[in-house]
Amino acid sequence: MGVVSTRVGAALALLVSIAAFALATVAFMSTVRDDSPTRGRLVPTRVNSDSTDLPQAFPLDDFVLGRDSDGDFHAFYVYPPGYFGHVRGCRVVWDPDAVIDGPRGRAGPGLYLEPCGGAHFDRDGALVSGPADRGLDEFEVEPGVDGVIVDTRRLLCGRAFVPPTTTPTVTSETATPTPSGRERCERVTPDTP
């Protein structure tokens, strides 16, 4: 009888220690991803130079990681640029077969689509057509040991849309340079207008 109760006690102690470890892990992870004014975290991914060229979605951290036309990685914010796409809960999706003739010429195959407003963005995140004032907002990426690391603490605004012109633009040495469109953007999600 003593051997059985010892085994039951050991099994119960093991079960309690596993539950305590699980609770401690949950408590730690909640401190890593917080809702402070600087939201976000560093997200290590397993996406590396050997990975597929198709963009991969990371829904918990609100980004899609894919390669641009030069093969460099970009982590695009899943919400389209502008306030109203966020409020409606629209999320940008990747369509590998999409092709469109826009003001900049033919784009695709493969475009990011914004289903609510109908905007189209190329692999580089640039606006190809549709009702948006700039390209896709994105997070900074850097190479890591096992793959790309995405910094979701800082959201960069997408590049401003500049329609093609038929006349050359005249610039002078004293002209103020146009903004690059890479300033920091504020996140606007459906639960925080």
- 3-state SS of the chain: helix, strand, coil percent to 5? 20, 30, 50
Cα 94 from Cα 123, distance rounded (Å): 9
Average pLDDT over residues 139-157: 90
**pLDDT above 60 (res 52):** yes
pLDDT of residue 160: 82
What are the phi and psi torsion angles at 130 (to 5°)? 110, 175
Q: Which residue has the higher pLDDT, 102 or 60?
A: 60
pLDDT of residue 47: 85
Q: Which residue has the higher pLDDT, 104 or 166?
A: 104
Residue reference for tokens 């409020």: 87
Q: Averaging pLDDT over each range in 2-6, 9-13, 125-129, which range is the top one?
A: 125-129
Average pLDDT over residues 105-113: 81
**Strands annotated E in 120-169:** 120-121, 127-129, 138-143, 148-156
